[in-house]
């Protein structure tokens, strides 16, 4: 019973308190305010609370109210059932994937000790690990995340088909073709990482990244697999259908792609799930390549740099401080990656469709395979 309650609380905090907040705020701050700053504009500032524009946040509420109040149009001749559930099919996977994302290491009921001689591995002495900071402790978490992320393509394809519109259909086709192309190199680019860490469990993976090369260089994914990081980031951009890979909703060619015929809250869900997917990809990159919740040299039992060891504020206090530091680090990394993705969106123009396909199949895929072989070779030699 307590476990179920705990899960519910975790789901509520992570999904609604974090993902939804970040995703929906991003629609405003990321898409509008950030682009405005880049383009030397002010951005939305006319909706106000008591005369304060509050960096445009009231617009987010106004937008929500508007979306809810708008008429929900379902095109004639469309498949009503599929047209209605398609937004859900897109939206749900974007949230379900969060089940395996660790926001912090498991909580140790005893004391945590870091063993520098064992490559800075943390062990729990006199207690056991309790999973309080990710929804689910799942040994094949990465596979789960991938499986779920791949499902969202069905939503887009179904939305495109069910709308009974050529533009939507083209958008749906583009979306599915593009997602499948990038799914391949995405998975293959991670194979090298898996070889090095030897686990599919995301929390384990993050723990491994706390290890050090020569006592000073953290073994983050981006350090050991720089090419894989680059490939994954690119494929992740393409996977989330964000610019410069937003071909499925190429407004200058196919109106709005598979969301052409959506209005009201359905449209909002489509949009929101796109942002949620962006945040999810950011979280995956953070976990796999940027050390997840790891803060370099900060451990549960103090700060260790080379052979020095400080424990500020005492052992117990420091444990809690380190927890908050690490959660903060995770959130910061996610936000930074989201910001970076948006930066890419406002920097690069949209690719042509054949360029997207060429990039996926002719460049990213061979590169990721090469990366896999080189990694395997290096590991075999070592």
Partner 1 sequence: MGNVTVKNVDRIKQTLWEKSYIPEILRGLSVTTSHFFRNLNPNKEKRTIFTREYPEVITEYPERYRGLHRLMLRDDGQVRCVACMCCSTICPADCIHIEAGEHDDPTIEKYPTVFVIDELRCIVCGLCVEACPCDAIRMDSGRHIPPSLERDEAFFDRDLLMELGGLSEAKQGGQR
Nearest distance from C-beta of residue 199 to partner 1, angstroms: 31
Nearer to partner 1, 279 or 359 (CB): 359
DSSP string, 339-380: HHHHHHHHHSPPPPHHHHHHIIIIIIHHHHHHHHHHHHHHHH
Structure-block tokens of residue 329: 């680090």
CB-CB contact of 319 with 301 (8 Å): yes
CB of 209 to partner 1, least distance (A): 25
Q: Which is nearer to partner 1, 40 or 77 (CB)?
A: 40
Binding residues (CB under 8 A) for partner 1: these are 34, 36-42, 343-344, 346-348
Shortest reach from residue 369's CB to partner 1, in Å:
17
Give the three-class secondary structure for 122. Answer: strand
Cβ-based nearer residue to partner 1, 83 or 333:
333
In whole angstroms, the minimum distance from the beta carbon of 361 to partner 1 comes to 16
Q: Which is nearer to partner 1, 225 or 322 (CB)?
A: 225
Minimal distance, residue 244 CB to partner 1, in Å: 10
Residue (207 or 345) nearer to partner 1, CB: 345
Helix (H, G, I), strand (E, B) or coil at 332: helix
- The distance of closest approach from Cβ of residue 46 to partner 1 in the complex, given in angstroms and rounded to an integer, is 9
Query: Is the alpha carbon torsion for 204, 26, 163, 184 positive or negative?
Result: negative
CB 144 within 8 A of CB 162: no
What are the CA-CA distances from residue 192 to residues 185, 327, 359 (Å)? 12, 27, 20
What residues contact residue 88 under an 8 Å CB cut-off, 6+ apart?
155, 269
Specify the residue for token string 């690119």: 234
Buried b (16+ CB within 10 A) or exposed e, 332-358: ebbbebbeebbebbeeeebbeeeebbe
- Nearer to partner 1 among residue 28 and residue 94 (C-beta): 28
């Amino acid at each position: 019973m307590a476990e179920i309650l705990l899960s519910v609380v975790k789901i509520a905090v992570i999904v609604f308190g974090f993902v939804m907040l970040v995703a929906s705020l991003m629609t405003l701050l990321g898409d509008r305010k950030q682009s405005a700053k880049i383009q030397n504009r002010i951005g939305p500032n006319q909706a106000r609370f008591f005369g304060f524009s509050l960096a445009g946040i009231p617009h987010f509420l106004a937008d929500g109210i508007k979306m809810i109040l708008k008429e929900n149009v379902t095109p004639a001749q469309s498949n009503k059932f599929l047209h209605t559930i398609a937004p859900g099919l897109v939206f749900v996977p974007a949230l379900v994937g969060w089940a395996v994302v660790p926001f912090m290491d498991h909580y140790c009921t005893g004391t945590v000790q870091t063993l520098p001689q064992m490559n800075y591995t943390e062990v729990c002495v006199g207690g056991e690990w309790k999973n309080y900071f990710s929804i689910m402790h799942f040994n094949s978490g990465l596979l789960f995340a991938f499986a779920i992320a791949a499902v969202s393509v069905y939503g887009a394809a179904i939305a495109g088909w069910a709308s009974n519109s050529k533009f939507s259909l083209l958008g749906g086709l583009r979306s599915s073709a593009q997602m499948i192309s990038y799914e391949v190199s995405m998975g293959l680019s991670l194979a090298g990482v898996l070889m090095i860490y030897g686990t599919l469990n995301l929390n384990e993976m993050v723990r491994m990244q706390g290890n050090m090369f020569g006592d000073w260089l953290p073994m983050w994914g981006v350090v050991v697999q720089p090419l894989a990081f680059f490939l994954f980031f690119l494929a992740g951009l393409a996977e989330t259908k964000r610019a410069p890979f937003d071909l499925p909703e190429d407004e200058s060619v196919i109106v709005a792609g598979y969301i052409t015929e959506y209005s009201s809250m359905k449209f909002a869900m489509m949009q929101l799930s796109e942002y949620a997917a962006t945040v999810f990809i950011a979280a995956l990159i953070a976990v796999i390549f940027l050390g997840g919740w790891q803060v370099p040299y900060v451990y549960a039992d103090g700060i260790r740099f080379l052979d020095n060891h400080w424990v500020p504020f005492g052992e117990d206090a420091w444990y809690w401080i380190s927890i908050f530091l690490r959660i903060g680090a995770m959130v910061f990394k996610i936000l930074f990656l989201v910001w970076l993705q948006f930066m890419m969106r406002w920097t690069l123009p949209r690719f042509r469709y054949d360029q997207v396909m060429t990039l996926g199949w002719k460049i990213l895929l061979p590169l990721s395979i090469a990366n896999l072989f080189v990694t395997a070779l290096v590991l075999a030699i070592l």
